[in-house]
Amino acid sequence: MIKTILVDDEDLSLFTLEKKLQEFPNIHIIKKYNSQEHVLSDLKTTHVDVAFLDIEMADLNGLDLAEAILSIQPSIQIVFVTAHSEYAIQAFELNSIDYLLKPITTKRLLKTINRLTKIVEVCRNHEDRTEDISTSVPYIKCFNELQVFRNGQLIHFKTAKVKELFGFFLTNINTYINRDILIESLWPGQDYKKSKIHLHTCLSYLRKILDELGYSNCITFSNQSYFFTLEPIYCDAIELKKTLQSLDKLDVTNIQIAENAVKLYTGEYMELNRYDWAFVEAQAYQNHMLISLDKIINYYQLNDDSKTLFYLQTYLRLNPYSNEKIKQKINLLVKMEDRFEAIKTYHEYEQLLLKDLEIGLDDSFVELFNVLISTAERS
């Protein structure tokens, strides 16, 4: 059974949604609310799979309520039910599973329930596999900045170079690393003997930190090479790569997993640390993201314009010079009857190319713009 709550300040809308949901035997409505009062306090003691939320309520915006709900139970699936389509992009930024416009038809609701059924099943299976993992397992963050947390506390390294050594080992985890390659990567162009001493000093500090975290003997040396391994481990970069590589074709059973995975990418790989040796890895992760975002866009372009637009914008933040995606965004905006934004997108891209690359738009863009203008003049 899918445990569900409903929140809507209009009693008639609440009643109507309840009646429609009762047609689905796997939906169990555990409580209805006509205000946000008691919603958050109840969720602190009651597990819920899905929350159907109205966006426009007298006492609280549904988007704000969704954020508060997810801060208490991050695994809850959010479905927005509203008469206001202009909130769609903001809704999907909160990772809502669906966006239903009033009046809701049974046919449209069936699509949502089918999607929910698959996703809740996947989430429960994932929870079953991970429930035995100790909360003391360190969380290693690589995107945007290299950071290590244990029980919510940030771990401090003795020196910046000790932290960089850890980052280098982590980037090459479960791989033999020749000592000379390691020295040249971390102390490029410096005296070899002095660099070797620095390496041993950093290794001593790093081993002590790792011992305190519960990882004994995780750095070994053989045949002039170091081998680094950590088990168990939770690292955003490793989780992202592992998940994205397992998702060949996206469908209703794994689209939520793909969306959750790309949310791990909060910036370039170790971007703020400015490690020269991390550049290649950073490029590889960005390519993984672009490929995966393209798959998500292709999945949603068949059935969800708002989510397609959201992920097109996400893609373009990583690769703002993609002619293909800019054209796709402009055409989608026209389809959504937002010609003003389409024309704005065209001009912004034109200025971007002139400023950054000193080139103009190709003929296909000019033709597209002429169609936009002529269509706007006729309407």
Is the pLDDT at 134 greater than 60? The verdict is no
Given a contact cutoff of 8 angstroms between Cβ atoms, the answer to whether 76 and 50 are in contact is: yes
Number of H helices, E strands in the chain: 15, 12
- Where residue 92 falls among pLDDT bands split at 50, 70, 90? low
Q: How many whole angstroms separate alpha carbon 82 and alpha carbon 100?
A: 6
Given a contact cutoff of 8 angstroms between Cβ atoms, the answer to whether 330 and 367 are in contact is: no
The total of other beta-carbon atoms located within 10 Å of residue 40's CB is 14
Percent of the chain topping pLDDT 90: 59
What's this model's pTM, rounded to 2 decimal places? 0.67
Type of residue numbered 207: R
Q: How many whole angstroms separate alpha carbon 165 and alpha carbon 169?
A: 6
β-pair type (139-141, 147-150): antiparallel
Tokens encoding 323:
């002619």
Give 182-191 contacts, CB < 8 A, sequence gap 24+.
182/226, 185/277, 186/161, 186/277, 188/276
Higher pLDDT, 232 or 312: 312
Chain centroid offset of residue 114 CA:
23
Question: Comparing 90-99, 149-158, 281-290, 360-369, which segment has the lowest mean pLDDT?
Answer: 90-99
Q: What tens digit of pLDDT does each residue of 141-191 get?
A: 999 999 999 888 899 999 999 999 999 999 999 999 999 999 999 999 999
Q: How many whole angstroms separate alpha carbon 293 and alpha carbon 349?
A: 20
Residues 6+ apart with CB under 8 A from 111: 98
